[in-house]
């Protein structure tokens, strides 16, 4: 697989990474451990060198999974993880954020142990904590970088002003936020800011939380533990209203002899050379399909057609329930 550099930082990774969250939480029951390890290791063997996790996924279980799976390959891969949510002493999820510098350093030490490594390649603030100045957050990560425990600093779902303030204290390597044909809002302000500052972009949910695969429609039933049950954009009414974006990728895919998934990923990769999507999956077949998206080259005419058709679509439904919507773009 081709490599890409995240902004001007010099962090070189595969053009597609692997988002590991769904292996432990978010989209239904956690996968069986050995099966998930097999998927992660198959990704390595197929050229993926960039793996994304977070302490809150599980919580903790996903970092442990990623650490075990990648231990034999540590010299070949880059691991990104995140801090910033409150987690109880027994691993229970709690409401609220915690990006106090002392807590960031505690999380780093715990994540290093779970990941079975002596350095975190990319350490993101998971969500902007309005109770802690972003300069203090950036300063704490800068100290971890100086101590050799972290290599690169990142933010997730941050607004442009926060990105600028943090970057002035410790250069940011990457911003992780949602971006896809199902959510193009970052094109307005975020992508121009990243380009100006030389920051890479790591889109999560590059397949619209599965919607762009063409496998979901208004009649799809999600597992009771699936996060999409509470996402307004995934109400049956919204799915029906938003079918046009799926029809678009299906029509292009039929013409270029690829799958809708591959078209959606190829489109994303074509937007900027410093964009590295991290599609997640628990299935080997989907992993191989996703990797095929990195090999697909859409023509300029294909891209113009997709953009023109996408610009005419008005998508329905918020991408988060209200209590989580408040945590993005700050």
For 133, residues 6+ apart whose C-beta sits below 8 A from its C-beta are: none
Catalytic residue, candidates 57, 124, 179, 320: 57
Q: What pLDDT, on a 0 to 100 scale, did the predictor assign at position 223?
A: 96
Quick one: tokens of 192? 């121009």
Q: What number is the average pLDDT over the span 318-327? A: 94
Active site residue 57: yes
pLDDT band at 51 (very low <50, low <70, confident <90, very high): very high
In this structure, what token pair is assigned to residue 148? 């050799």
Q: What is the pLDDT of residue 96?
A: 95
pLDDT of residue 268: 98
pLDDT value of position 251: 97
Give the distance from CA 269 to its chain's centroid: 14
Question: Using one digit for the tens of pLDDT, what is the confidence trace for 253-295?
Answer: 999 999 999 999 999 999 999 999 999 999 999 999 999 999 9
Instruction: Report residue 153 as tokens.
Output: 């600093």
Instruction: Record the tokens describing residue 246, joined without a space.
Output: 């799926």
Q: Which of 259, 248, 221 is nearest to 305 (CA)?
A: 248
Among the residues of the chain, which ranges form H helices? 33-45, 61-70, 101-114, 134-146, 160-169, 190-197, 236-241, 243-256, 260-271, 284-295, 300-311, 322-325
Residue 182: which of 214, 157, 211, 203 has the closest Cα? 211
Closest residue by Cα to residue 34 from 291, 227, 284: 284
Give pLDDT tens digits for 115-156: 999 999 999 999 999 999 999 999 999 999 999 999 999 999
User: Whole-structure pTM over 0.85, yes or no?
Assistant: yes
Domains of the chain: 3-208+271-297 (3.20.20.100)
Q: What is the chain's mean pLDDT, rounded? A: 97
| 3-state SS class at 225 | coil
Give per-residue pLDDT as tens, 78-98. 999 999 999 999 999 999 999
Cis peptide before 59 (omega within 30 of 0): yes
């Amino acid at each position: 697989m081709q490599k890409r550099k995240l902004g001007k930082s010099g962090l070189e990774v595969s053009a597609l990474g692997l988002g590991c969250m769904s292996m432990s939480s978010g989209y239904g029951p956690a996968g069986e451990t050995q099966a998930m390890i097999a998927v992660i290791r198959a990704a390595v063997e197929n050229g993926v060198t960039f793996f994304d996790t977070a302490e809150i996924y599980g919580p903790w279980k996903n970092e442990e999974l990623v650490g075990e799976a990648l231990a034999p390959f540590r010299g070949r891969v880059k691991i990104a993880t995140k801090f910033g949510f409150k987690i109880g002493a027994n691993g229970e999820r709690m409401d609220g954020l915690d990006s106090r510098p002392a807590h960031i350093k505690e999380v780093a030490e715990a994540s290093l142990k779970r990941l079975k490594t002596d350095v975190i390649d990319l350490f993101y603030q998971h969500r902007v904590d309005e109770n802690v100045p972003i300069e203090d957050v950036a300063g704490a990560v800068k100290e971890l970088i100086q101590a050799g425990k972290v290599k690169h600093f990142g933010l997730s779902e941050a607004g442009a002003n926060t990105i600028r303030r943090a970057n002035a204290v410790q250069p940011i390597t990457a911003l992780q936020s949602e971006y896809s044909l199902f959510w193009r809002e970052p094109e307005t302000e975020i992508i121009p800011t990243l380009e100006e500052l030389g920051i890479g972009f790591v889109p999560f949910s590059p397949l619209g939380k599965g919607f762009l695969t063409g496998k979901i429609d208004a009649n799809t039933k999600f597992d009771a533990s699936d996060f999409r049950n509470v996402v307004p954009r995934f109400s049956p009414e919204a799915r029906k209203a938003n079918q046009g974006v799926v029809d678009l990728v299906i029509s292009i895919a039929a013409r270029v002899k690829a799958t809708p998934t591959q078209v959606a990923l190829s489109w994303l990769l074509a937007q900027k050379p410093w964009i590295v999507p991290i599609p997640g999956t628990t299935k080997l077949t989907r992993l191989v399909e996703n990797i095929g998206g990195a090999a697909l080259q859409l023509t300029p005419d294909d891209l113009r057609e997709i953009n023109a058709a996408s610009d005419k679509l008005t998508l329905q439904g918020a991408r988060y329930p209200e209590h989580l919507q408040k945590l993005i773009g700050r």
